[in-house]
Structure 1
Amino acid sequence: MERCDFKHPQAQQGVAMVEFAIALPLLLLLLLGVAEFGRMLHQYNSLLQANRDAVRYLAGQAWNANLGKVEINSVLLARTRNIAVYGVPAPQPGKEVVPGLTTANVTVGTVGAEHVQVSISYVFRPVIGSGLPALIGNAIPLNFPLVATTVMRGL
């Protein structure tokens, strides 16, 4: 049997530092990816809640009992869009539910004679940039749409 000699501690100095320097960028990229995913889920949840609030308001206000169907006038349309964007019927610039959301992102309409629909389309923009550089071809885009749509029967 051959005897196995272990290396002296002096020969191993600095190896842990090199391994840490190699692993650190990968760990930071993973941490940043998880944080961005959490931020995206938070924004999507905020959009869903704002959408539900807006369609609930619209369903309660749009029903015309005399005609037996929903009717949406311009004032109700504007208030519904403001509720979807700001959370209240009156506009409050700078207090959007999600940063960068505008009333142009909100679509309000009817589905048949008894149902109303509110849809919010929003493009999620990560903090790290709009795309990842690709080694071959075009950059990989990181912006993607978040869409929240709710239909409710007029009350």
Structure 2
Amino acid sequence: MKNIGTHFKKQQGLAAIEFTLVLPFLLLLIFASAEFGRLLYQYNALNKTVRDASRHLSSNVKFGDTGNITIKDSVSAEVKSLIQFGQISSANALFPNLSDEDISLAISGDFIVVTVNYDWQPIFSQTFTTFGLGNDIDLSFPLVSTYTMRAL
């Protein structure tokens, strides 16, 4: 019986050591899953705002005498505000670092095309370090959303 008791005493701190060895990998897995979920959420929100802005633009374009479509500057500003803030007049940005230059409005025949190039940035780290084994890996990449709608 004494052998079992001494065996447990030798094993007593082993679980804590194993936990400290596995913890960094578990945290990396949890944070990577959280970032991927945030990426999907922001991509979905970007698609919805671009779709809503395209609907707003398609119903507010101006038709010329010859049937050509033109976009007024005021409507263009409203569309860009819808994409950036989710409303025509708001101060809370939906997407950090999204500027007017990232939003493109185009006309192709009877269709309007709204394109947004958003550089997605992770929360936890901008780069993944390789600890001197090469160049650091940039974790940001562009999210592109394009909607084409017929002008009403």
> Unmatched 5+ residue regions in structure 2?
none
Which whole-Å deviations, capped at 9, do the CAs of 1:55-86 have from their partners, x for residues lacking one?
Answer: 10111111527533422122221121111112
Q: Which residue of 1 aligns with 2:126?
A: 130
Q: Which residue of 2 aligns with 1:34?
A: 33
* TM-score, normalisation: structure 2: 0.88
Where does 1:83-94 land on structure 2 (aligned, <5 Å)? 83-90=82-89, 92-93=90-91
Q: Deviations over 1:79-138 (max 9, x none)?
A: 211111122233x33x11222222222111112x20001111111111122101114210
1:30 deviates by 0.3
- What percent of counterpart residues are identical? 33
The structure 2 residue matched to 1:139, chosen from 123, 136, 140, is 136
Q: Distance in 1 between matches of 2:100 and 2:107?
A: 18
How does 1:16-31 map onto structure 2 within 5 Å?
16-31=15-30
| Residues 46, 98 of structure 1: 8 Å contact kept | no
* Whole-Å separation in 2 of the counterparts to 1:84 and 1:70: 21
Letter in 2 for 1:8: H
Q: 1:119 matched to which residue of 2?
A: 115
Does 1:106 pair with 2:69? no
Partner of 2:48, secondary structure, is helix
Q: For structure 1, which runs of at least 5 residues remain unmatched after alignment?
A: none
Partner AA of 1:125 in structure 2: Q
* Aligned equivalent of 1:59: 58
| Structure 1 residue runs of 4 or more that deviate by more than 6 Å after TM superposition | none
Secondary structure of 2:59's counterpart equals helix
Root mean square deviation, CA, Å: 1.8
Q: Distance in 2 between matches of 1:26 and 1:88?
A: 41
Q: Distance in 1 between matches of 2:113 and 2:55?
A: 10
Superposition pairs of residues 63-78 of structure 1, within 5 angstroms = 64=63, 66-78=65-77
Q: Is the 8 A contact 2:62 2:72 kept in 1?
A: no
Q: TM-score, normalised by structure 1?
A: 0.87
Whole-Å separation in 1 of the counterparts to 2:63 and 2:129? 54
Tell me the equivalent position of 2:94.
Answer: 97
